[in-house]
């Protein structure tokens, strides 16, 4: 174990105990932690819970970093099974609020002014408190406007960063020791979680996201994004307009709410963000959506967003058209391109699975077609074929599933395809506009012009190296890491076994000579050889038993 990890041994112990308590003994066995035998005395939780429920409860017990990890993972339907996604969506990070003096200190330090100079009123009790931040109602002194002040919890970064380090270390351990985990590339996944979580701690990014969205919806009356008060925003404080309305999750049977209109607007809002703007709210669950007067949507909590390039949006349109036309060959071609697969994968290897999925959805009436679940089934198929889609595309699928599910809950008769059709047509037509075609043609000509300037020089370098006999061709074997590690382990154990046998033979020969000095009446050098070979042999046997490879 690394020295840096030893300093956090107490936290490692807490994590290992929690894993063991929820029945994940095999994971604990794979971690290089001392004292694992003591965990067997821990009382385990009720095993009547499903595996997915135990994972959710375990993350809650581990604290804010792991709750956030679960919430981020719930946005990745390309990586985790659907039942686990449904469980992770239940994660709530509402916690006890931080005391007012600590919040006051954070605000004054971030804005570099006394709180009383900025606000004529600042409620000590927060409107909401979560694991990373809490929101307070306040009144600006300069204009008496009522605002919501989002304040980051004190020293939250110092709390999160050690857990993120441990998460990365555990991911590396499991990636090297569990065959099934290699599909998910756990170290890279831990790095993505770290990047996402640390970005969410920077409120200047959230402020930038809100401004982008306000600009995108500047001409759409049915969506409202709160105004920002930028002089009073920083990395740890976000001051925005306080909007009052009903949270989507609390809509119920309110008579002033037009559920059909709300469902149509909500779905159109998500489709516009994804297909038209290419910039979208990553987690539009009902807790992050407020309904204002006249059934206007207000989107909150812009810490996590997704972006899609113009090319990816065009490919999505082609994918949807391929689904409608039941063109499995075209769908496979697009999916392999989206997953950025090289040409080594055989064409047609997934076509039968694609047809199976299409048959299920083509048997439904068009108004019952669930686009989100269709895309989820496709990403599940990709995962089972060891393919991974880009992270933002996976987040988009999760956002669409959430929005579509909420819309159908509000109005079950909603025809999702009809609501999405105008945006699909608009984007499909956009790619054939003269200015778009001219831009693409100009870019291609620029690429060709650059290539024709560089190609002769590159070709001459190759010919010169060939003349000098310096042209080398390197081959790289892929997917042989496991075999290499196995061979290294076999070689190391065999070498150690030979050394132990040699020590035993040499010690036996020395014992028969009677050479001094003596120990217990026998040559000391022979006794020491026996002891060393015995210790090494015992260590080798324990190592083989622990690895369970015998």
Question: Tell me: the pLDDT tens digits for 285-296?
Answer: 777 888 888 888
With H, G, I as helix, E, B as strand and everything else as coil, classify residue 509: helix
Beta strand spans in 288-379 (E): 289-292, 296-299, 305-307
Q: Which residue has the higher pLDDT, 4 or 319?
A: 319
Answer yes or no: is pLDDT of 120 > 80.
Answer: yes
Q: What is the pLDDT of residue 386?
A: 75
Percent share of the chain, pLDDT over 70: 84
By CB atoms closer than 10 A (0-12, 13-18, 19+), residue 284 is buried
Average pLDDT over residues 71-97: 74
How many residues are there in the chain?
550
Which percentage of the chain shows pLDDT scores above 90?
14
Q: Which of 391, 379, 56 is nearest to 196 (CA)?
A: 391
DSSP letter at 113 equals S
- Whether the per-residue pLDDT at 323 is higher than 60: the answer is yes
The stretch 57-77 carries a mean pLDDT of 79
Whole-number Å distance between alpha carbons of 11 and 22: 17
For residues 345, 346, 347 and 348, what is the CA-based torsion angle, rounded to 10 degrees?
A: -110
Range with the poorest average pLDDT among 123-137, 223-237, 313-327, 434-448 = 434-448
pLDDT of residue 135: 93
Strand locations in 381-472, DSSP E?
Answer: none
pLDDT of residue 176: 66
Place of tokens 């919501």: 148
Contact call for residues 250 and 256 (beta carbons, < 8 A):
no
Give me 281's structure tokens.
Answer: 């709210």
Torsion over CA: 478, 479, 485, 488 (sign): negative
If we measure between CA atoms, which residue out of 163, 164, 234, 233 comes closest to residue 195?
164
pLDDT exceeds cutoff 60 at 479: no
Phi-psi region of 425 (alpha: psi -120 to 50; beta: other; left: phi over 0): alpha
Say whether pLDDT at 39 is over 70: no
> Is residue 480's pLDDT more than 90?
no
Task: Supply the pLDDT for residue 335.
Answer: 84
**What is the structure's pLDDT at 1?**
47
Phi and psi, residue 518, nearest 5°: -105, 150
What's the mean pLDDT in 130-143? 90
Instruction: Find which of 40-49, 111-120, 166-175 is predicted with most confidence, using mean pLDDT.
Output: 111-120
Which H or E run includes 145? none
Alpha helices in 7-73 (DSSP H): 9-21, 25-30, 51-62, 64-73
- Exposure class string for 315-353: b at 16+ Cβ within 10 A, else e: bbbbbbebbeeebbebbbbbbbebbeeeeeeeeeebeeb
Q: What is the pLDDT of residue 237?
A: 94
For 179-211, letters b (16+ CB in 10 Å) and e give: eebeebebbebbebbbebbeebbebebbbebbe
Task: List residues bridging with 305 in a β-sheet.
Answer: 281
Distance between CA atoms of 375 and 471, rounded to whole angstroms?
47
pLDDT of residue 3: 45
Looking at the predicted structure, is the pLDDT value of residue 536 above 80?
Answer: yes
Please state, rounded to an integer, the average pLDDT across all residues of the chain: 79
DSSP code for 228: B
Taking the complete model, does pTM exceed 0.85, yes or no? no
Cα–Cα nearest to 301, from 121, 84, 134, 161:
134
Neighbours of 475 (CB within 10 A): 4
- Least confident piece of the model among 130-134, 436-440, 523-527: 436-440
Of 81 and 225, more confident? 225
| Token pair for 127 | 């409107």
| d(C-alpha 82, C-alpha 401), whole Å | 11
Question: Pick from 20, 40, 238, 257: which is nearest to 138 by CA?
Answer: 238
SS3 297: strand
Strand order in the sheet with 289-292: 223-224, 296-299, 289-292, 246-247
State CA 356 to chain mean position distance: 29
Quick one: pLDDT band at residue 6, thresholds 50, 70, 90? very low
- The confidence score (pLDDT) of residue 324 equals 73
**Rounded Cα gap, residues 296 and 293, in angstroms:** 6
Give yes or no for a contact between 303 and 131, defined as CB atoms under 8 angstroms apart: no
Q: In whole angstroms, what is the distance from residue 348 CA to residue 351 CA? A: 5
Alpha helices in 178-220 (DSSP H): 186-200, 203-216
Q: Is the pLDDT of residue 454 over 80?
A: no
In terms of pLDDT, which residue wins out, 140 or 512? 140
pLDDT, greater one: 528 or 367: 528
Q: What is the mean pLDDT of residues 30-43?
A: 54
Least confident of 36-40, 142-146, 214-218: 36-40
Q: Say how far apart CA 409 and CA 286 lie, in whole Å.
A: 11
Cβ(266)–Cβ(416) below 8 Å? no
Q: For the residues 384-405, what does the mean pLDDT come to?
A: 78
């Amino acid at each position: 174990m690394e020295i840096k990890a030893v300093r956090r041994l107490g936290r490692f112990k807490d994590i290992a105990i929690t894993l063991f308590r929820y029945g994940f003994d095999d994971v604990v066995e794979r971690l290089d932690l001392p004292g694992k035998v003591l965990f067997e005395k821990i009382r385990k939780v009720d095993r009547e819970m499903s595996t997915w429920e135990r994972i959710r409860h375990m993350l809650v017990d581990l604290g804010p970093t792991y709750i956030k990890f679960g919430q981020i993972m719930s946005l990745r339907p390309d990586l985790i099974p659907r039942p686990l996604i449904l469980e992770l969506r239940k994660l709530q990070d509402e916690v006890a609020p931080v005391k007012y003096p600590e919040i006051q200190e954070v605000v004054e330090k971030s804005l570099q002014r006394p709180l009383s100079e900025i606000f004529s009123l600042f409620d000590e009790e927060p409107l909401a408190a979560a694991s990373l931040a809490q929101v307070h109602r306040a009144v600006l002194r300069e204009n008496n406007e009522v605002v919501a002040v989002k304040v980051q919890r004190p020293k939250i970064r110092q709390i999160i960063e050690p857990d993120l380090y441990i998460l990365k270390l555990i991911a590396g351990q499991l990636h090297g020791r569990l065959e099934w985990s290699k599909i998910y590339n756990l170290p890279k996944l831990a790095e993505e979680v770290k990047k996402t979580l640390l970005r969410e701690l920077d409120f200047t990014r959230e402020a930038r996201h809100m401004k982008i969205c306000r600009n995108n919806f500047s001409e759409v009356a049915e969506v409202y994004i709160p105004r920002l008060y930028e002089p009073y925003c920083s990395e740890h404080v976000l001051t925005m307009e306080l909007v009052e309305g009903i949270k989507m999750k609390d809509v119920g049977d309110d008579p002033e709410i037009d559920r059909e209109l709300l469902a149509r607007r909500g779905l159109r809002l998500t489709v516009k963000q994804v297909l038209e703007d290419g910039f979208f709210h990553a987690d539009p669950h009902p807790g992050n959506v407020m309904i204002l007067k006249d059934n206007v949507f207000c989107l909150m909590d812009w810490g996590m967003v997704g972006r899609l390039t113009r090319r990816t949006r065009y490919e999505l349109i082609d994918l949807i058209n391929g689904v409608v036309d039941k063109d499995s060959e075209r769908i496979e071609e697009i999916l392999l391109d989206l997953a950025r697969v090289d040409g080594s994968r055989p064409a047609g290897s997934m076509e039968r699975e694609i047809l199976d999925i299409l048959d299920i959805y083509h048997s439904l009436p068009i108004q019952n077609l669930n686009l989100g679940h269709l895309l989820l089934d496709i990403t599940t198929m990709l995962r089972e074929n060891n393919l991974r889609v880009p992270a933002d595309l996976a987040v988009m699928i999760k956002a669409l599933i959430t929005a579509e599910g909420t819309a159908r809950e509000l109005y079950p008769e909603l025809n999702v395809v009809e609501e999405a059709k105008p945006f699909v047509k608009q984007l499909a037509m956009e790619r054939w506009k003269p200015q778009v075609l001219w831009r693409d043609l100009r870019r291609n000509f620029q690429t060709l012009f650059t290539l024709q300037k560089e190609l002769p020089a590159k070709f001459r370098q190759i010919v010169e190296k060939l003349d000098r006999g310096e042209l080398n061709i390197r081959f790289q074997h892929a997917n042989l890491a496991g075999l290499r590690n196995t061979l290294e382990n076999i070689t190391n154990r065999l070498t150690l076994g030979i050394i132990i046998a040699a020590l035993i033979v040499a010690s036996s020969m020395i014992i028969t000579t009677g050479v001094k000095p003596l120990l217990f009446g026998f040559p000391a050098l022979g006794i020491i050889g026996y002891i060393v070979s015995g210790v090494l042999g015992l260590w080798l046997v324990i190592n083989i038993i622990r690895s369970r490879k015998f």
